[in-house]
Amino acid sequence: MAQFTLVIGNKNYSSWSLRAWIALKHLGLEFDELLLRLDAPETHEQLERYAPSARVPVLRAGELVVWDSQAICELAAELTGRGWPQAREVRAVARAVSAEMHSGFASLRSLWPMNARARNRRTATTAALTADVERIDEIWNDCRHRFGAGGPWLFGADYTIADAMYAPVVLRFNTYGARVSDTARWYMATVLEDAALQEWLTAARAEPWTIDSDEVG
């Protein structure tokens, strides 16, 4: 297969890009990276050149074009044989919590946009936002208590696509000061100490661009 290129958006703001990028890093799929600046006059035209959906992330290899973070993660899992728990029933749960993130938590995503380098931001709380935070806390507790005994990740010793799906959530909780349980705080510390996430954060801090609509709190 041709060399993979992962097209991503600003590291400070693009949460879907982070999910695909960190999954590929952890699963060990080699790729080049092409960063497109979001929210600039030329952004839409550039996105259309690389992705049929005009969105990032997109994984490209020769004729192959895979848009959407979840599909990219699935391809990486197929190619590497990593990324999902071995046991079928545990794998089903990992897929469920990943899908719940991919399709849900609309209030969290709109009220607390990812702003990786920002700290100590505070926003007004809504019932829907609180419900999203509580549900995520519940998911992390459930995974850690039922499947996490062998290591620090949601499903134990091996990093899974579920961890990649929730990495931007950890950044949001960190930025906006989410009140969470001890187990969730412990899991957040694991994610924040991860070398791959640190690499992403260093690059995010160095970016010169600001997207005003994502600067909240």
Ligand X SMILES: N[C@@H](CCC(=O)N[C@@H](CS)C(=O)NCC(=O)O)C(=O)O
Residues that bind ligand X (CB under 6 A): 9, 14-17, 38, 43, 47, 55-57, 68-70
* Closest distance to ligand X from the beta carbon of 77 (Å): 15
Whole-number Å distance between alpha carbons of 124 and 126: 7
Residues, the chain: 217
* Closest distance to ligand X from the beta carbon of 102 (Å): 6
- Cβ nearer to ligand X, comparing 68 with 180: 68
- Cβ nearer to ligand X, comparing 41 with 81: 41
55: Cβ contacts below 8 Å, ≥ 6 apart:
16, 47, 67, 68
- Cβ nearer to ligand X, comparing 57 with 156: 57
* Closest distance to ligand X from the beta carbon of 150 (Å): 29
Cis check for the bond before 168: say yes or no (omega within 30 of 0): no
CB of 144 closer than 8 Å to CB of 183? yes
CB of 119 closer than 8 Å to CB of 174? yes
| 156 three-class SS | strand
Whole-number Å distance between alpha carbons of 31 and 38: 21
- Cβ nearer to ligand X, comparing 21 with 147: 21
Shortest Cβ contact with ligand X: which residue?
55
Q: DSSP string spanning 164-197?
A: HHHHHHHHHHHHHT----HHHHHHHHHHHH-HHH
* Closest distance to ligand X from the beta carbon of 152 (Å): 25
* Closest distance to ligand X from the beta carbon of 43 (Å): 5
- Cβ nearer to ligand X, comparing 107 with 190: 107
